[in-house]
Amino acid sequence: MNIEIKCLECGRRTRNFEIGPAVYAVEYDDELLLKNNIFCPKCKKDISYGKCVISAGEFFLSMTALAIGKLAKSENNFKIPEYLKNILIVTKENYDFLRTQSKGKIKLVTKF
């Protein structure tokens, strides 16, 4: 999924950043788990755990677009754009299991 991130190390934003495969659970509505480590494209530091934030509003707009795309795709009317792929919505139990295997976590914030 491509999204705008803000590095808390250097304080700079990066638009259209590919976070890679990610997991979201409604029970943990303030964070995303990442499959891979992420590095700030500007300062090159590892910002995988707690050193990076994304806008919750932008994230939920992307999730809404993904849900609409999946519905339309099931009826063969729409192709899901590449920037919306690689996100998975899971239950609390699955999220807790995947948390042990994740290599990063991003906090969702209301504004930068």
Mean pLDDT value across the chain: 85
- In this prediction, residues 19-38 reach a mean pLDDT of 85
C-alpha span between 112 and 110 (Å, rounded): 7
Which pTM does this prediction carry?
0.71
Segments making up each domain of the chain, as ranges: 2-109
% pLDDT > 90, the chain: 27
Q: Which residue has the higher pLDDT, 89 or 14?
A: 14
Note the pLDDT of residue 44.
95
- In this predicted model, what pLDDT tens digit does every residue of 67-82 receive, in sequence order? 777 777 777 766 767 7
What residues contact residue 89 under an 8 Å CB cut-off, 6+ apart?
23, 24, 25, 26, 63
